[in-house]
């Protein structure tokens, strides 16, 4: 830990560049680096897991989080999509973030997987989810000196909304595979995604949707063959990684359909009119937008929206789709880690300049 602070003061990013999670040899014994030193942390007994109490207008509940690593200046809270999917599909982070020395937190939002799942539709609002994220931030002791918020899909909606209310607590923001407008997404689905599906299959999909029989096996069979393997995760369905399958198997469908709507080719539900395009200029923290060429979300729109953030940048995964952390994995994490490294390096140089200024005076 002291070594990480020293690097920051010197304006270096060594803790984020050469695998802070690796073991180094000192004499005849292995010595853990600061990234793996969990001594003094209050979650050691549970392997990094914390069940965090959440207050809501409908009572008190608990949400599940799990910490990986230890870095006092770079901590990423991961917001999963859905709504009501699970943290599990973020597990690809395990292959990249430890080697980069980045601390990160898995988190199941209320209603998802290991967190409480109350059956009360009044709880499922954007505003209440934002309040939840803020309570999680406080419980995990995240602040503007270390707090990166990364949201994928619906998690991107939540991350934007959080930043609009609480950006004073953020060091950096990541919006992954999400447009800032549901109407714009629906327009893209109608203009690009649906016409790209085989006409016979699309006609059958539309017949099923018209009857409201979204749970029948044939509906998912058609979507997997004609949509999912092209725009959600560009691998054969029987080759999808286990974390993705586990996350999808545990989706809380009542919550999902209430917020997103039942159709997989466009959104409805409570989110149907959500649009924050005109408000992105209000988010002044460094922001990364990650898009993919084959995404369900319009990559051209995501590039445009990145330009609306005062400190925005865009990272394209040319071979990826909606789950680009899997089907264009190296590109995805190169962009995510590079974004965090750049902020850390700027912060280190600013700290070094302050020290230099005080010394010279």
With CA atoms as reference, report the closest residue to 295 among 224, 232, 225. 232
Q: Which is the catalytic residue, given 131, 295, 298, 328?
A: 295
Q: Under a CB-based contact definition with an 8 Å cutoff, are residues 230 and 196 in contact?
A: yes
Residuewise pLDDT in 10s, the chain (361 residues) = 233 222 333 333 333 433 333 333 333 233 346 998 888 899 999 999 999 999 999 999 999 999 999 999 999 999 999 999 999 999 999 999 999 999 999 999 999 999 999 999 999 999 999 999 999 999 999 999 999 999 999 999 999 999 999 999 999 999 999 999 999 999 999 999 999 999 999 999 999 999 999 999 999 999 999 999 999 999 999 999 999 999 999 999 999 999 999 998 999 999 999 999 999 999 999 999 999 999 999 999 999 999 999 999 999 999 999 999 999 999 999 999 999 999 999 988 887 887 777 766 5
Specify the CATH number for the domain of residue 156: 3.40.50.1820
Q: Strand, coil or helix: what is 12?
A: coil
Q: Which domain holds residue 197?
A: 2-360
Active-site hit among 152, 322, 327, 328: 322
Residue 262 neighbours by CB distance under 10 Å: 16
- Domain count within the chain: 1
Q: Take residue 336 and report the two structure tokens written for it.
A: 């995510």
Catalytic residue among 153, 181, 263, 321: 153
Question: Is the Cβ–Cβ distance between 239 and 221 less than 8 Å?
Answer: no
C-alpha–C-alpha distance, residues 325 and 152, integer Å = 10
Q: Rounded CA gap, 94 and 246, in Å?
A: 16
CA atoms within 13 A on the CB side of 172: 26
Catalytic residue check, 295 = yes
d(CA 10, CA 166) in angstroms, rounded, equals 30
- 322 catalytic, yes or no? yes
Write b or e for each residue in 226-247: b if 16 or more Cβ atoms lie within 10 A of its Cβ, otherwise e. bbbbbbbbbbeeeebbebbeeb
Distances (CA, A) of 333 to 93, 180, 277: 8, 22, 26
pTM of the full structure: 0.90
């Amino acid at each position: 830990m002291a070594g990480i602070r020293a690097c920051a003061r010197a304006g270096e990013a060594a803790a984020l560049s050469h695998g802070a999670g690796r073991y180094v040899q000192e004499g005849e014994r292995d010595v853990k680096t600061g990234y793996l030193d969990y001594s003094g942390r209050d979650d050691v007994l549970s392997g990094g897991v914390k069940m965090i109490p959440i207050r809501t207008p409908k009572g008190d509940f608990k949400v599940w989080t799990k910490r990986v690593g230890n870095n006092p200046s770079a901590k990423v809270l991961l917001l999963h999509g859905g709504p009501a999917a699970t943290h599990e599909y973020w597990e690809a982070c395990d292959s990249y973030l430890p080697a980069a020395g980045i601390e990160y937190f898995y988190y199941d939002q209320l209603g998802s997987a290991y967190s409480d799942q109350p059956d009360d539709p009044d709880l499922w609002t954007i505003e209440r989810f934002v309040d939840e994220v803020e309570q999680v931030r406080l419980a995990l002791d995240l602040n503007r000196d270390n707090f990166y918020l990364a949201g994928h899909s619906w998690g991107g909606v939540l991350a934007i909304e959080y930043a609009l209310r609480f950006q004073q607590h953020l060091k950096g923001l990541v919006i992954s595979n999400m447009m800032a407008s549901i109407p714009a997404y629906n327009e893209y689905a109608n203009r690009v995604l649906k016409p790209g599906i085989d006409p016979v299959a699309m006609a059958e999909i539309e017949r099923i949707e018209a009857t409201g029989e979204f749970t029948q096996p044939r509906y998912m069979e058609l979507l997997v063959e004609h949509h999912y393997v092209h725009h959600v995760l560009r691998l054969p369905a029987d080759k999808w990684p286990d974390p993705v399958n586990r996350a999808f198997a545990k989706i809380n469908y009542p919550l999902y359909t209430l917020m997103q709507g039942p159709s997989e080719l466009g959104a409805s539900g409570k989110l149907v009119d959500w649009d924050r395009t005109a408000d992105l200029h209000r988010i002044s923290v460094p922001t990364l937008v990650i898009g993919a060429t084959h995404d369900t979300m319009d990559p051209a729109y995501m590039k445009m929206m990145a330009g609306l953030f005062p400190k925005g940048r865009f990272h394209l995964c040319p071979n990826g789709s909606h789950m680009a952390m899997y089907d264009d994995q190296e590109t995805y994490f190169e962009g995510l880690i590079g974004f965090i490294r750049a902020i850390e390096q700027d912060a280190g140089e600013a700290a070094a300049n302050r020290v230099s200024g005080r010394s010279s005076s």
